[in-house]
Amino acid sequence: IEFLKGNAFMELYEDTIMKLQGVGIIDVDNPNDPVSVTLAPKYGRLCYPEIFMDMMEPSSDQVSFINEHGENLYCFQDGTTMAFTNKITDANEIVGSVLYQPVLNWFGLDLLYIGVESQNKRVSSSFNIFVKATSDAPLVIVPNSTLTVEEGENLAIEGIAVKDDDIDLEIQESRDR
């Protein structure tokens, strides 16, 4: 058993999602034997299309959502392991459809572990995933969007807040100067 690796270093921007690229499994000695595959990100989450639902090991750590293309995706919670057993051709189809999504509003280096076992032989590897920072617009939070005041009267507005999820990015950028 061995891995085909296109690029052992992948990168994407925070708050986006990407397919694993160039990862595959080969076993020239036993190409039709089942393989057990484990994928585990250190921080981010892994998702897969609904068509592979029956092939995954059951987990209560999954949520589903519909992406911008109308596909139903199932995602594990952040840092949760994805595991399945199947023939190599099917396993490669699943691995080729796996999507990685970083933790919301997080950037930095994540590590994706992949392990494969067949006939008591085990190989493993890891991939670095660099999540690049982006600057999201700050939010203004208003507790009640409809306010009424009589002409000539004063109105005190309480509870207005400004929220910026990119405070870490701003701190890092100021350190880099």
CA gap 27, 16 in Å, rounded: 33
Mode of pairing for the β-strands spanning 82-87 and 62-66: unpaired
Model confidence pLDDT, tens digit, residues 71-114: 888 888 888 899 999 998 899 899 989 999 999 888 999 999 99
Entry pTM: 0.73
Place of tokens 């589903």: 64
Model confidence pLDDT, tens digit, residues 42-66: 999 999 988 888 877 766 677 877 8
